[in-house]
Amino acid sequence: MADSKATQETVTLTIDGQEVTVPKGTTILQAAESMGTRVPHYCYHPGLTAPAQCRLCLVEVQGAPKLQASCVTAAQDGQVVLTESEQATEMRQGVLEFYLANHPLDCPICDQSGECKLQDYVHAEGRKHGRSREPKRVFGRDDFGGDILFYGDRCVMCTRCVRFMEEKAQDPRLTVVERGNRSIIDTFFEDGVEGSPYAGNIVDICPVGALVSKDFLHKARAWDLDHTPSICPNCSQGCNIDLHVRDNRVQRIKPRANLSVNEYWMCDYGRHRYEWMNREDRLEAPAYKVGGEYVITDWSSVLDELAERLDDPRPALAVASPFASTEELGALRRLVDHLGGGRIVYRMPRADEEIPLPGFSDLARRRDLAPNGKGAEILGMERVGDDEGRGGLEDFSGHTGTLIVLGDELADLDQGFGEQASLYMYLGAHPSPAARQADFLLPRCTFAEQEGTFINHQGRVQRFWPGIQATGAAQPAWIALAALQLRLEGGGRGISTAAEAFLQVAEVAPELQGLSYQTIGTRGALVNEPVALPGS
């Protein structure tokens, strides 16, 4: 019975001469993609329903009276499918010719150029010369509101945008009006998609340049952008993203698929908050005070001086940031413990409410507007302050022992903060008035300049990678703190990678034991989740 049930749960078919076994209910298009075979398509998207209206994914199924739409035809046992047969390729060539009959040839000025499916498909198998002699239809440009512009001439009527707003946003503000070659996407209301918190996703899923972002308009060419996998730092959801970088500046953020966290989507709040990663007012070199004046120096010298000053045990207080990586927070926890223990606090900016994506409610713009509050909580740090991420540091102003600030810019505090401390160490990316009393200024990388992890609201540990080069001599805080602790301990084995820094965090956080960068991978792993180790 078990074998019979297993047989019923999968089907085996042949695609272009290669046998493939897939779960029952898988479409032919999905089966082809699982084996690396590309079937051109427009209207199909894995996160939306498939209307089978673009007619570009038709394939030949032996025994069927006509070509079948592979995006809605279920794979069946014994099927023989041909995606590159003469009939299928001739059909695709004809469909592409119909698309180009009205599509403007404005690739040199189109934002989608370089990542446009129409370009790719026509280049691969389209006609070399068009045959149409009729004038092209002209719809012009329409402002859909918010960050969205619509170029109707370029639209191929895949209706992905309409279906996203209906099925995922459940805010049906777009529709198809008119018929035939006069069909066009339009809005129901004068404000279009203005105010819809997830509308930016319709730009991501548009396969051509019909929907474009005002923010990215004519900013860079697609082939000039480097893509780096990362995690959105703008709330505790932990959406998987790609940083698109040119000239060492983040040009835009795009969602990266992770079905356990954000599926294929992200909110506009996170999408549009990236300019701070490009701030030019940076701390660029280590410095310490001598006679009230800062002396610019190198890392080795500043850490030697700092270790000498910290040689005598004294009470320690620390202010951490929920925007810091788990590795940085763990290194801070270890250092404070080494200094004899002490209070570590962090402040969390919060929104008034959560904003879920109705069609995938696991995704929401969370109330906690920082990515690693869970990491700070796991490491025993105390949350203080108000919903604006301010206040809560009144007890720190008069502290007379060691004061350590990691990542918090202390924007709500004046330059008198920390003046009573016997030693005030500030590790940050940007200068601030409250850092001016610091005895030691240590330049820190932003998350976009380093490798590390965040732990989202679910307790999922997720990795990110450096997308831009660090400014000046800035380093991840875990490097500086680990090197400092090594000096205080009088030697020992140092660490040189973020992976090693993560393993050190697990020494003080039982919830992370058993995890490593290898087991976390690119999709993340839940804390305390049993993980099958390689070779086990």
Q: What tokens were used for 388?
A: 């604006």
Residue written as token pair 């078919």 = 13
- 3-class DSSP state of 240: strand
User: Does residue 314 surpass a pLDDT of 90?
Assistant: no
In the chain, what is the straight-line distance between the N-terminal and C-terminal CA atoms, in Å? 30
Cβ–Cβ under 8 Å, residues 352 and 329: no
CATH architecture of 14-84: Roll (3.10)
Q: Rounded to an integer, what distance in angstroms lies between the CA atom of residue 371 and that of residue 348? A: 10
Q: Rounded to an integer, what distance in angstroms lies between the CA atom of residue 512 and that of residue 504? A: 10
Summarize the confidence of residues 510-522 as an average pLDDT: 94
- Out of 336-350, 438-452, 517-531, least confident range: 517-531
Q: Label residue 180 by pLDDT band (50, 70, 90).
A: confident
Cβ–Cβ under 8 Å, residues 424 and 288: no
Q: Average model confidence (pLDDT) for the chain?
A: 92
Q: What tokens were used for 6?
A: 């297993």
Summarize the confidence of residues 269-274 as an average pLDDT: 97
Q: What is the pLDDT of residues 136-157, one digit of tens each?
A: 888 889 999 999 999 999 999 9
What's the 3-state SS for 252-292? EEEECCECCCCECCCCHHHHCCCHHHHCCCCCCCCEEEECC
Q: Rounded to an integer, what distance in angstroms lies between the CA atom of residue 90 and that of residue 69? A: 15
Q: What is the pLDDT of residues 107-132, one digit of tens each?
A: 999 999 999 999 999 999 888 888 88
Q: What is the pLDDT of residues 45-78, one digit of tens each?
A: 999 999 999 999 999 999 999 999 999 999 999 9
CATH architecture of 287-450+471-496: 3-Layer(aba) Sandwich (3.40)
How far, in Å, are 16, 229, 269, 313, 399 from residue 364 at the CA level?
A: 41, 20, 11, 45, 39
Q: Label residue 424 by pLDDT band (50, 70, 90).
A: very high
Summarize the confidence of residues 395-424 as an average pLDDT: 89
Q: Which residues pair with 440 in a beta bridge?
A: 288, 425
Cβ–Cβ under 8 Å, residues 462 and 520: yes
Helix (H) or strand (E) holding 3: helix 2-9
How far, in Å, are 195, 211, 453, 456, 532 from residue 525 at the CA level?
A: 34, 35, 11, 11, 11
Domain regions of the chain by residue span? 14-84, 287-450+471-496
Summarize the confidence of residues 453-478 as an average pLDDT: 97
Q: Rounded to an integer, what distance in angstroms lies between the CA atom of residue 426 and that of residue 480? A: 12
